[in-house]
Every structure is written in structure tokens, then in C-alpha cells.
Amino acid sequence: MNKTINRYFILLFLLGILIILLPIKFPITVKSYGKIYPAKEWYITKVQNESIATEYIDRLHGGLTKYSINSFERGDRVTYVIKPHVIIGSEVCAGDTIGRIFSSRLLQLQSEILGQINIAKANLNVFNSGENQPIIDEAQYQVEYAQTQFENQKIVFDRISQLHVKDLISDAEFDSVHTMLQLFEKEVQIARAQLNTVLSGAKPETINFLKSELKALQDRYSILTEQINQGILISPINGIINNPNAIDSILSIQDNGQYIALFPILMKYSSLLKKDQEVHIRFPDGGVWVGVIRLIDNKAQVISGDARIIVTVELEEAYGNINVGQIVEGKINCKSTTILNQISHFIKNTIDFRARRI
């Protein structure tokens, strides 16, 4: 009896070895459940100190592709205005203005610099015409005005310095106030230099100085205007306005023309996956659509106790009843392979995964 069992065991063992060694190929189908996401998303989020951040996510090209933040000084009165047509569920196009951020401080500075430009132009005209007495009075007033602004900012800076020593404010806020103090100090120097220039008479070098000062003011005005325009929130994509349901999020725009599905695939199948490989996707309502593998993240993750990699699949066409967040089934028909290859790939992937964890 024992001899018969041993015989059967040996035969089965030899048969198994034969099957493994024979170059017989078997088709392999990889299945997994994944979730539907828009290919692109744009978020508007409120962060610390009432600043506004925007995030642009392109899942077909690796995720977060652009991040920007509009930060403001402490004490600045900031207003967020969303356009009336921007409501949840409405469609927008790339280039549409979603809203604006208004900083009272930046607008005040813009107004002040514009006034200085007008004064500089008037000064230049007066010198060119030879009537310099009115401009002397104006230059003296500008010195007094600049000195008053500097002294007021010095009081603010002294108070902020005390708070900074006690670690009650951040380095960034302290640096911002210090920079503003230096700016006002520079304004005093410019105003005094202008007064000295006016008193010295309308010499050719005086005219050149006024021209260069006017050019500097115009450059500052352009930079400030560009900074203000950064507060214009413009959609980078075509999509639908959505409420992201997060505490700090104001709204998001989801691409409604292109969708992807993220599938966690067992690590042992990673060698069988290739870019541009077809994936058959089954929706909950029974509909089947075709997708294409666009990204394969080779960084393993432990999901449900198994080592898996995330595969990004693009839907070739927009499915009629698609909803973001839907759970779908994916089926990938891979190239046929031998059992021996499968065993060797499994051993290799297991070793590689354990090495990563160590």
C-alpha cells in the first residue's frame, strides 16, 4: 500500500516538474477593483493666515503639477469674491475667471505709487517749462509725508520686534514688517533727494534724474500690478464646479471630459504590465468600457495585507453614466507566459518588496 502511494507521489511530482519545465504558455488575466477620478482637478483652498492656495492636479502626468499661494501681511484686510455664475454643478471653461482676491494693502500701495508717478510727471513738465517754484513746495511736502509714513511704520516695527523676541509671531511676519520699514525709509531718501534736486535748479542732470525716477516708479507700479493680478483666480481646465467637502476648501473644478481609474494591482503581476496596454472596465450598471494604462507606479504599497502597485488607466472615451468615485472592475489580458516564468517573477517580486521594506 505504501509502495503504491509512493509511486503515485513520485508520478505526481515528476508530472509537476514536467509541466513547469515544458514551454507551455498560459494566458494570464489580471483583475482588480479601482475607483474613477477626473483626469484633472483644480482646487482653491484657504490656508493659514487667511492666505489662498491653488492646486492643479493632473493624474495622467503624475499628480500635483502646480501649487501657488497668495499670502498677505498680518493686519491686511483681504476680501475673497467669487463670480456670481460660479455655483456648484455649473460648467466653466479654461481661462474663465472664477473669482478675485483683493488686498487693501496692495491696492493702497498701488494708489500711492500711481500718485507718485503723476507727481513725477508734473515735476518733469514744470522743469521743462522753467516754472520750478510750485514744485519746490510740492517736494517739501513729499519729504514731510514720507517722513511721517516712516515714523508710523517704525512704531509698528518696534511693537512687532518685541513680539518676535517673545516668539509670538513668525519670522516671515517679522521680515515682512521689516521690509516695509526699509521701503518707507527709502521713500524718505528719495523725497529728500528730489527736494535737493529741485533746489539745485533745472540742470540737464536734474532732468535726467527726474526721468530715471519716473521710470523707477513706473517699474514698481508694473510689478505691483502684476502682484495684484495674481489674485485673479482663473480656471486652467474645462470642468464642473464641485464642493470638495473639506473644511479649508473653497471649491474645486473637476475635468468632465477626461477620466481615469486607479487600480491597485498585486505586485507579483507588475512584470506583466506595460504602458498603453488595454484594460476592460466594467461599471456597476453592467456597461463595459475600454481603458489604456498610462502610468505604472512601481513603488509598492501594502493594501489589505498585500503588496500592490497603483496603475493609472485612462478611459478612451467618456462613459455615459460615469460618476467620480465609482468603484469599477478592471480586467487586463496580459501576454501568455510559462509557469516557470510566473514562479520566477513571483520570487523576484517578493524579494524586491521585502528589500524595500527593510
Domain positions in the chain? 24-38+258-357
- Give the pLDDT confidence of 197-207 residue by residue, as tens digits: 666 655 666 67
| Fold type of domain 24-38+258-357 | Elongation Factor Tu (Ef-tu); domain 3 (2.40.30)
> pLDDT grade, residue 358 (50/70/90)?
very low
Give pLDDT, residue 246. 62
Alpha carbons 222 and 232: distance in angstroms, whole number = 16
Is the pTM higher than 0.95? The answer reads no
- Give the pLDDT confidence of 220-276 residue by residue, as tens digits: 888 777 777 777 788 888 888 887 666 677 788 888 888 999 999 888 888 888 888
Alpha carbons 295 and 37: distance in angstroms, whole number = 14
3-state secondary structure of 91: strand
Q: How far is CA 247 from the centre of its chain?
A: 18
Q: How many CB atoms lie within 10 A of CB 205?
A: 10
Q: How many CB atoms lie within 10 A of CB 346?
A: 15
- Give the pLDDT confidence of 274-317 residue by residue, as tens digits: 888 888 898 887 778 888 889 888 788 888 788 888 999 998 76
Q: How many CB atoms lie within 10 A of CB 191?
A: 22
45 near 53, Cβ under 8 Å?
yes
Alpha carbons 258 and 111: distance in angstroms, whole number = 44
Give me the half-sphere count of Cα atoms (radius 13 Å) on the Cβ side of residue 191: 22
Separation of first and last alpha carbons in the chain: 49
> What length is written for the chain?
358
Name the grid cell of 117: 508717478
Burial of 207 (0-12, 13-18, 19+ CB in 10 A): middle
Which residue would you say has higher pLDDT here, 248 or 41? 41
236 near 303, Cβ under 8 Å?
no
Long-range contact list for 162-171, CB < 8 A, 24+ apart? 169/74
Question: Above 80 in pLDDT, residue 194?
Answer: no
Give pLDDT, residue 262. 92
- Give the mean pLDDT of 169-195: 78
- Give the pLDDT confidence of 111-141 residue by residue, as tens digits: 778 878 887 787 777 666 555 566 677 778 8
Give pLDDT, residue 35. 92
Burial of 235 (0-12, 13-18, 19+ CB in 10 A): buried
